[in-house]
Amino acid sequence: MPTLTYRDALNQALREEMERDPSVFLMGEEVGVYQGAYKVSRGLLEAFGPLRVVDTPIAELGFAGVGVGAAMVGLRPVIEFMTWNFALLAIDQLVNSAAKMLYMSGGQIPIPVVFRGPGGAALQLAAQHSQAFESWYAHIPGLKVVAPATPHDAKGLLKTAIRDDNPVVFLEGEMLYNAKGDVPDEEYTIPLGAADVKREGGDVTIICHSKTVAVALKAATRLAEELGVSAEVVDLRTIRPLDTAAIASSVRKTNRCVVVEEGWPFCGVGAQVVDEVQREAFDDLDAPVIRVTGADVPMPYNKQLERAAKPDPDKVIAAVKRVTYLD
């Protein structure tokens, strides 16, 4: 099986879907001539021309709305935000236009649009460029929210997102673009709303998504080697719809649960997961669920402080020790 980077897997997904469906187009800042700020759209302008790979002015609200409007009349836009930090300028179009149009039109106007781009912290980009917004969008009925962790999942989920008739918020990990993984040659898609067990285990469930999947997997390896604890790593892949069945079934097996996310703790993705766990697996729990999140502060620039603000394997191991009463 070929090995691809996360970036190239996304590129393949875009290319394949644009070849498959002439109503799919890509629009955003620097997606064309510059080949993408993160090179996800490399070669697409040459392959599909300027009508289907559209460079925009720096006008997030405007071009996000252009995408929604084009979707209203039947096109399938993929709108790239250079980062999700800048998408805050466009959030009115995502929340007030894209998410609600089908409902407030009484079912007349679906919005088949994908909003995608990198999210989460990179390295020392400081407060305004280091934010994970999964929970913001997952809060909104009418939006679907996807955050893949691997090249394989990134490709299969993006293809599905483009074919979906609803607005999909697709958050890529800025630090994952160079991550490599196996991606099959043959055509495949991955359904939205299906979590994936990235590592099987019997002692504790670690629930994670996007960049924190790698953190959880590292922690799981060390837990096995250093403490003999067998951790099951469940990658949500899609935040909304949430695969509550997969969460519950893993927790029923392990009886212990840690939830890891890069975002802030208050009203975060983990809060929703914990709510599901206590309702669906209350009698199976042998310990309170512990969350590992980004620190509840704006991201600092200083390297040591930044490291302290992010989830890492040590923090996950500490949380696992608490739910297994090993500390």
Partner 1 sequence: MAQPAFVSQLDPDRAEFYRHLLRQMLLVRRFEERAGEAYAQGRIGGFCHLYIGQEAVAVGALTALRKDDYVFASYREHAHAIVQGTSVSTVMAELFGRAGGCSGGKGGSMHLFDVGHNFLGGHGIVGSHLPLAAGAGFAIKYRDTDQVVICFFGEAAVNIGAFHETLNMAALWGLPVVFLCENNRYGMGTALERAAAVYDVYRRACSYDMAEETVDGMDVLAVHEATTRAVERARVERLPTLIEARTYRYMGHSMADPIHGHYRTKEELEEQKQKDPILDLQVRMAEGNLLDDGALRVMKQAVEEEIDAAMAFAEQSPEPAPEALFTDVYRE
Q: Would you call 26 helix, strand, or coil by DSSP?
A: strand
38 versus 63: smaller Cβ distance to partner 1? 63
78 versus 258: smaller Cβ distance to partner 1? 78
Give the relative orientation of helices 269-280 and 244-254 as an angle to the nearest 10 degrees: 60
Nearest of 123, 53, 128 to residue 84 by alpha carbon: 128
20 versus 303: smaller Cβ distance to partner 1? 20
Any contact of residue 87 with partner 1 (CB under 8 A)? no
Shortest distance (Å) from residue 4 CB to partner 1: 30
108 versus 304: smaller Cβ distance to partner 1? 108
Q: What is the largest CA-CA distance in the chain?
A: 59
Any contact of residue 144 with partner 1 (CB under 8 A)? yes
Near partner 1 by CB under 8 A: residue from 26, 40, 72, 176: 72
Site for partner 1 in 209-228 (CB under 8 A): none
Determine contact, residues 268/261, Cβ cutoff 8 Å.
Answer: yes
Q: Which residues are catalytic?
A: 60, 129
What is the DSSP-derived secondary structure letter of residue 225? I
Kindly state the number of chain residues that form the binding site for partner 1, as judged by CB under 8 A: 41
Any contact of residue 304 with partner 1 (CB under 8 A)? no
Scanning 12-20, 97-105, 248-256, 317-325 for contacts with partner 1 by CB under 8 A, the matching segment is 97-105
Alpha helices (runs of H) in 195-299, residue ranges in sequence order: 212-222, 244-254, 269-280
Near partner 1 by CB under 8 A: residue from 28, 36, 67, 270: 67
* Rounded CA separation 137/117 (Å): 14
Q: Would you call 263 helix, strand, or coil by DSSP?
A: coil
CA 265, 266, 270, 274 torsion: positive or negative? positive
* Rounded CA separation 3/75 (Å): 32
Pairing mode of beta strands 114-119, 168-173: parallel
141 versus 228: smaller Cβ distance to partner 1? 141
Any contact of residue 43 with partner 1 (CB under 8 A)? no
Residues that bind partner 1 (CB under 8 A): 25, 51-52, 56-57, 59, 61-75, 77, 92-93, 96-97, 101-110, 141-142, 144, 165-166
